[in-house]
A and B are shown apart, each in its own frame.
Chain A
Amino acid sequence: MRDALGVGIAVGLSGFAFGVTASGAGISLAQTCALSLFVFTGASQFALVGALAAGSGPLTAAVGAFFLGTRNTLYGLRLSGLLGLRLGTRVAAAHWVIDETSAVALAQRGRQAVRLGFTVTGATLFVLWNLTTFLGALGAEALGDTAAWGLDAAPPAAFLALLAPMLRTGAERTTAGLAAVLGLALLPVLPAGVPVLVAALAAPAVLVVHSGKARRAADVLMLQKQKQKQKQKQKQKQKQKQKLVQEQEQADEQGQEQAQRRTESGSEEESR
Chain B
Amino acid sequence: MSVWIAIGITALGCYLVKLLGLSVPAGALERPVFKRLTALLPVALLAALTAQQTFADQTVLVLDARAAGLAAAALALVLRAPFLVVVAAAVLVTAGIRAVG
Residues of A that sit less than 8 Å from B by CB: 10-11, 13-14, 16-17, 27-28, 31, 34-35, 38-41, 43-48, 50, 52, 54-55, 57-59, 61-62, 64-77, 79-81, 83, 85, 90-91, 93-95, 97-98, 147-164, 166-167, 171-172, 175-184, 187-188, 192, 195-196, 199-204, 206-207, 211
Contact = CB atoms under 8 A, between A and B. Distances in A.
**Residues of B in contact with A, size category:** 35 or more
A37 to B, nearest CB: 8
Interface centre among B13, B37, B41, B43 (most CB of A within 10 A): B43
Interface centre among B23, B55, B61 (most CB of A within 10 A): B23
Interface string B46-60: 111111111110111
Contact of A149 (B33, B84, B95): B95
A156 B61 contact: no
Given A43-B45, A76-B24, A179-B44, 6 more contacts: A40-B14, A50-B52, A156-B69, A162-B46, A175-B40, A176-B47
B52 A81 contact: no
Nearest to B19: A94
A93 B19 CA distance: 8
Contacts, number: 317
Interface of B: 2-7, 9-11, 13-15, 17-24, 26, 29-30, 33, 35-56, 58-61, 65-66, 69-70, 73-74, 77, 82-84, 86-87, 89-96, 98
Contacts of A35: 7, 10-11
A209 to B, nearest CB: 12
A48 B53 contact: no
Interface centre among B6, B19, B59 (most CB of A within 10 A): B6
Contact of A72 (B18, B46, B83): B18
Please report whether the interface of chain B is mostly helix, strand, loop or mixed according to DSSP. helix
Contact of A153 (B15, B19, B66): B66
B98 A202 contact: no
Contacts of A44: 10, 14
A184 B90 contact: no
Interface centre among B14, B33, B77 (most CB of A within 10 A): B14
A204 B77 CA distance: 27
Given A65-B14, A71-B38, A148 B98 contact: yes
Contacts of B48: 179-180, 182-183, 195-196, 199-200, 202
